[in-house]
């Protein structure tokens, strides 16, 4: 990604350098007032430079616009990526919320169980105290009994004392049948009551202890559940962190591309301004060429020289079967076009044969009317986009222009006759394929205008 950005940055740098070079080139152009001292060739060279620089800038602009398009589609992709990630983040957030609810429920369950256990512990402690008190009471009662038995024995009793002292515990002592008779009824009842209390208390304690064990088991289970939930929560949180990180990265990339787009937009505006400026320069130079015709060409009302044999009736400049592929004053795309484009066609009406070879290339074109060649460029230069071209002044204020020639058969100063072959159709200059570009100019007083050629020539 960063590599791509560097590429773009380098391209922009290169492009800005070009801009500076073009700007400097324009600085070198002499002011219009100096035109009078310039030759037509100087003008052509200047025109060529501008034309090439326009082409170069147009190409740069196209590249920049291509970059803008690419980056916009990248932005769209990143946008939907961000949306997807956000959707995932939303789902994770939901799941975490639900888990948090579960954990909170579990926590209150654990708290309840812990409280129950604590309550049981308190109850067990109370029971143990009760049992201890009962045991103390039993000991005291037993001592009282012993005292009475001793008194009884002293008063003439038998071997009960021995039995009493040999008894191993209170229960065996109390169940001795022979002693029961000697114990007073109240004492006997008390001991029975206490003994039965102890049994009950012991059984209660046992039940409570069982309950406590159950609760402890439940608490262990709840804690295990809690551990599982917490682990799941940690998992979700780390997924969430990953998504957030991804979102951050994608957003950063988005912002980088937005910056690039902004830069490219600015750049594109610069190119458009440069191209507009150059178009202006071209118009100025075209006007200067018209001025050349104003200074050197014939005008309406002039009488053509006899040697031109100008009969006032122009002919279609290409012999044989032809078609017009573009008209005056604009192409089908709306861009200005000040002439007509003529192609030679084959038997079936196409401009190329089955092998893609042009029928026009190398075929001759001819003077629409007799006259004198006043401009002829046969140097294979760009020449306003006309390539090899010539202009014939017909002596009556009309001039015809023939462009994109493969080569010219005439030179400046030649007098040509109507229908004379003056060059071969080619694809020099600004063309998409071989054809003849044909213009008619009319000089009237001080003005030179490019007019509708079909008002002067008719396709046979
Ligand atoms: Zn054309």
- CB of 51 closer than 8 Å to CB of 282: yes
Residue 98: the pLDDT is 83
CA 401 to ligand 1 centroid distance, Å:
11
Say which CATH architecture domain 300-455 belongs to.
Distorted Sandwich (2.70)
Residue 35: the pLDDT is 42
Give the three-state DSSP class for 446: coil
User: Measured between alpha carbons, how far is 192 from 70 in angstroms, rounded to an integer?
Assistant: 102
User: Measured between alpha carbons, how far is 342 from 344 in angstroms, rounded to an integer?
Assistant: 7
- Over the chain (460 residues), the average pLDDT of each successive run of 10 is 39 41 35 50 78 82 85 85 82 82 84 85 85 81 72 56 53 53 65 82 86 87 87 85 84 84 84 78 71 87 96 97 94 84 94 94 98 93 84 96 96 97 94 93 91 96
The structure's pTM equals 0.48
Residue 425: the pLDDT is 98
CA 324 to ligand 1 centroid distance, Å:
10
**CA 309, 367, 341 angle in degrees (round to 5)?**
145
Element holding 92 (H helix, E strand): helix 40-154
CA 438 to ligand 1 centroid distance, Å:
7
CA 70 to ligand 1 centroid distance, Å:
34
**End-to-end distance of the chain based on CA atoms, in angstroms?**
62
CA 328 to ligand 1 centroid distance, Å:
9
Where are the chain's structural domains? Answer: 1-296, 300-455
CA 266 to ligand 1 centroid distance, Å:
34
CA 368 to ligand 1 centroid distance, Å:
16
Residue 443: the pLDDT is 94
């Amino acid at each position: 990604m960063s590599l791509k950005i560097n590429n773009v940055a380098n391209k922009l740098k290169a492009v800005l350098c070009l801009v500076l070079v073009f700007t400097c080139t324009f600085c070198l152009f002499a002011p219009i007032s100096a035109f009078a001292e310039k030759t037509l060739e100087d003008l052509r060279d200047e025109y060529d430079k501008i034309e090439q620089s326009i082409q170069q800038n147009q190409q740069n602009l196209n590249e920049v616009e291509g970059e803008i398009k690419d980056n916009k589609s990248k932005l769209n992709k990143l946008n939907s990526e961000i949306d997807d990630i956000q959707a995932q983040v939303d789902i994770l957030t939901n799941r975490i919320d639900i888990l948090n609810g579960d954990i909170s429920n579990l926590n209150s369950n654990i708290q309840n169980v812990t409280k129950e256990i604590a309550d049981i512990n308190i109850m067990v402690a109370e029971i143990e105290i009760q049992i201890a008190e009962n045991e103390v009471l039993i000991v005291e009662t037993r001592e009282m009994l012993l005292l009475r038995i001793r008194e009884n024995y002293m008063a003439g009793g038998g071997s009960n004392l021995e039995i009493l002292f040999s008894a191993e515990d209170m229960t065996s002592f109390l169940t001795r049948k022979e002693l029961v008779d000697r114990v007073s009824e109240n004492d006997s009842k008390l001991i029975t009551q206490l003994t039965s209390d102890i049994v009950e208390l012991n059984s209660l304690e046992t039940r409570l202890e069982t309950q406590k064990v159950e609760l402890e088991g439940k608490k262990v289970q709840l804690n295990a559940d809690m551990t599982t939930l917490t682990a799941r929560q940690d998992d979700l949180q780390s997924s969430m962190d990953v998504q957030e990180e991804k979102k951050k990265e994608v957003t950063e990339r988005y912002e980088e591309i937005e910056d690039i787009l902004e830069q490219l937009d600015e750049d594109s505006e610069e190119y458009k301004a440069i191209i507009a400026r150059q178009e202006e320069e071209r118009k100025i130079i075209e006007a200067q060429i018209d001025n050349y015709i104003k200074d050197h060409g014939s005008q309406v009302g002039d009488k053509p020289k006899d040697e031109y044999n100008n009969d006032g009736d122009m002919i279609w400049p290409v012999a044989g079967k032809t078609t017009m592929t573009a008209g005056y004053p604009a192409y089908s795309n709306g861009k200005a076009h000040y002439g007509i484009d003529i192609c030679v066609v084959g038997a079936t009406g196409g401009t190329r044969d089955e092998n893609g070879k042009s029928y026009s290339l190398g075929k001759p074109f001819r003077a629409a009317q007799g006259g004198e060649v006043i401009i002829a460029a046969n140097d294979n230069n760009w020449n306003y986009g006309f390539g090899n071209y010539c202009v014939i002044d017909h002596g009556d204020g009309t001039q015809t222009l023939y462009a994109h020639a493969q080569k010219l058969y005439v030179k400046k100063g030649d007098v040509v006759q109507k229908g004379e072959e003056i060059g071969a159709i080619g694809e020099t200059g600004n063309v998409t394929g071989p054809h003849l570009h044909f213009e008619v100019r009319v000089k009237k007083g001080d003005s030179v205008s490019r007019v509708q050629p079909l008002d002067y020539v008719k396709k046979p």
